[in-house]
């Protein structure tokens, strides 16, 4: 199964890297909830790291509690940039390097990065091989089934394994699909049958029950969007995989406490102004589906200070309690 993640319980659980969401404070909170969760940074530009971008270097920073295992995810289309970035990542002390071959964003793929690299898997494999040979860190890949179609998916996976990657995470859609339709896990199961490295499936896992149903022959699952609203999904999955009763999702008070703590950690790292601005998208997810959601969302996407956030959270809590008493 390879050395990477060898000391983690099986099946593997991983938090999917999501730009603007999986910053260090959120990752730390997830790790506190379920210590075996594999963490990966937000999408970072290899070229920007090579050029010493202060913003990108700040985004690459992580807390010691994220180690075992924490990877930094890079996008790019140049072996030279990946190699230079890998040296910086080694110095930072990350556990592995993850290459993004799955992002479907037009801004990324129009520059030849992300899932655009799936269009010529042989060239991409040579780039991976160059990186693997130049770094002491394990290299992993997160990819999609293909760009326009999944016709070359298995060949691409085998090319990447031959290039020396230590693990593979696959989102079960093509780039053309973006996030529409249903993720195709059958292709991921097929890939696992032909590969010797850990294969982790990703796409549409919204509960522990779904994770168990999707796992089959894979080494683990990666969860993204569902973890934003329910960070406890990882501990729920760990229980479900062990055949134990699935812990219920904590009540609203616990979720509000989670995001208060998240805000505090973000303020420590970035200062109050920037932390509040960047957390607004998280808070918008928080109120989805609850009574008065539109009103609270409108306030949360404009929040500027921690005391203001606390006031809104108190109002949310009071509103929900009032609804429950009716």
Residues 6+ apart with CB under 8 A from 319: 290, 291, 292, 296
Taking a C-beta distance cutoff of 8 angstroms, is the pair 163, 197 a contact? no
Enumerate the β-bridge partners of residue 44.
74
Q: Strands 96-101 and 199-202: what pairing?
A: unpaired
d(CA 155, CA 292): 50
d(CA 56, CA 13): 26
Q: Is 157 a catalytic residue?
A: no
Instruction: Write the CA distances from 58 to 90, 98, 157, 228, integer angstroms.
Output: 15, 18, 32, 22
Tokens of 307: 């005391």
| Side-chain half-sphere CA neighbours of 190 within 13 A | 14
Q: From the candidates 103, 227, 286, 303, which is the catalytic residue? A: 103
Instruction: Write the CA distances from 169 to 71, 88, 101, 122, 294, integer angstroms.
Output: 13, 23, 10, 18, 36
| Residues recognised as catalytic | 103
């Amino acid at each position: 199964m390879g050395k990477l993640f060898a000391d983690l319980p099986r099946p593997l659980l991983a938090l999917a890297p999501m730009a603007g969401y999986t910053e260090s404070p959120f990752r730390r909170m997830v790790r506190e909830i379920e210590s075996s969760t594999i963490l990966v940074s937000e999408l970072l530009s290899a070229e920007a790291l090579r050029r010493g971008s202060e913003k990108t270097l700040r985004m690459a920073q992580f807390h010691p509690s994220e180690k075992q295992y924490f990877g930094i995810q890079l996008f790019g289309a140049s072996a030279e940039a990946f190699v230079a970035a890998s040296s910086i990542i080694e110095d930072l002390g990350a556990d592995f390097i993850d290459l993004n071959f799955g992002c479907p964003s037009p801004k990324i793929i129009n520059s030849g990065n992300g899932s655009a690299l799936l269009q010529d898997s042989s060239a991409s494999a040579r780039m991976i091989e160059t990186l693997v040979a130049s770094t002491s860190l394990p290299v992993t890949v997160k990819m999609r089934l293909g760009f326009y179609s999944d016709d070359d998916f298995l060949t691409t996976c085998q090319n990447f394994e031959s290039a020396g990657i230590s693990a593979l995470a696959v989102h079960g859609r093509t780039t053309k699909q973006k996030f529409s339709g249903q993720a195709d896990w059958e292709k991921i199961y097929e890939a696992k049958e032909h590969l010797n490295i850990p294969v982790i499936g990703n796409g549409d896992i919204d509960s522990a029950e779904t994770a168990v149903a999707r796992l089959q022959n894979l080494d683990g699952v990666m969860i993204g969007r569902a973890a934003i609203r329910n960070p406890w999904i990882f501990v729920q999955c760990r229980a479900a995989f062990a055949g134990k009763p699935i812990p219920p999702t904590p009540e609203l008070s616990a979720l509000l406490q989670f995001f208060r703590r998240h805000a505090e950690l973000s303020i420590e790292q970035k200062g109050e102004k920037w932390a509040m601005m960047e957390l607004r998208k998280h808070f918008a997810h928080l109120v989805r589906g609850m009574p008065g959601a539109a009103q609270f969302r409108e306030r949360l996407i404009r929040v500027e200070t921690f005391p203001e956030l606390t006031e809104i959270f108190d109002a949310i809590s009071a509103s929900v309690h009032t609804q429950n008493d009716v």
